[in-house]
Amino acid sequence: MTKDEFLPHNCDLCGSADAAEIEAAKHYQNGQPLHVCKNCGLVYIKERRSANRIAEVWSEDIYEKGYTAKIPAVKARQTYVADFVDDALNIKGKSVCDIGGGEGQFLEIIREPTYGASVFAIEPSERNCQLMADNNIEAFCGSIEDYIDSGKTKNQKFDVVTIMWTIENCQSCRAMMEAAYDVLKDGGHVVISTGSRILVPFKKPLQYYLGPKATDTHPIRLSNNTITGLMAEGGFERTHINRFIDTEYLVAIGKKADRSKKIDWPKDDWSAIVEFFSRWHKETQDHYSDA
């Protein structure tokens, strides 16, 4: 596979190859298609580069060219997640690993005495790892796959794993969940937080939800049902979910369970999703001049 060769993927959640194209998406993605699985309703980008290449793009083309999470809007959402997780799990004294730790701001928040967590990051950007080191946050510099391949999971497991606005950005969300399972202690919890979701009333014009840049840097769009399914297929029983209908964020918590036992989960209706995006597209075109 060449550096920027895109290869097709089946549904990350159920593995089905049967998908419908969401036609409205091409208007906002420079003609790049978006699909919905006809079996489970997951919305995803079919054509993607390798996991390492997507990590490189985030490290070199996004963070290195000016993106920063150290802005009030990002701090607000991270504080929201910190409060929600602490209310649910009481993280004082617990070890927390943030996969895709970025610049470490979330870990800065939860290590403060208010929360009192012991923090660790897995982050592919050397720049970000140096920023965290300068702030006395321990980090493994590499992808989650690199971390597991290093063998560190034999001696280093965590009470809580957080995946903050990262699950929708990875090459395989299924692989991310399997990795989270491997780095958690028995009975530990995974936390997924995202702002990329569907089947919620039209809070923003569609061009702010989709975009013209390489779509495989944000290949997954999650809903209440599919995030529950992603946890179940990864070996987690969902224990908590926030009131996402009237906030900007979707936050779900799952407890590590016995992988040998099947966990049932609800599916989304793919045809309703196609119709949803069609209506969203129309509302955007009708009411926003920059659409």
- For residue 105, the model assigns a pLDDT of 94
CATH 3.40.50.150 for the 50-258 domain, yes or no: yes
Torsional class of 142: left (φ above 0), alpha (ψ -120 to 50), beta (otherwise): left
Query: Is the pLDDT confidence value at 107 over 60?
Result: yes
Structural domain boundaries in the chain: 50-258
Q: Is the pLDDT of residue 178 over 70?
A: yes
**pLDDT attached to residue 172:** 81
Cβ-Cβ contacts under 8 Å for 254 (sequence gap 6 or more): 189, 190, 192, 231, 234, 236, 237, 238, 239
Taken in order 221, 223, 229, 232, is the CA torsion positive or negative?
positive
* First vs last C-alpha separation in the chain: 36
Q: Are 272 and 40 in contact (CB under 8 A)?
A: no
Say which residue, 120 or 166, is predicted with more confidence.
120
* pTM across the whole model: 0.88
pLDDT of residue 41: 96
Q: Which residue has the tokens 């997954």?
A: 220
Contacts of 31 (CB under 8 A, 6+ apart): none
Predicted confidence (pLDDT) at residue 71 exceeds the cutoff of 90: no
d(CA 248, CA 257): 29
At residue 79, the pLDDT reads 96
Amino acid at 40: C
Confidence of residue 218 (pLDDT cuts 50, 70, 90): confident
Per-residue model confidence (pLDDT) at position 53:
76
The encoded tokens of residue 183 equal 């780095």
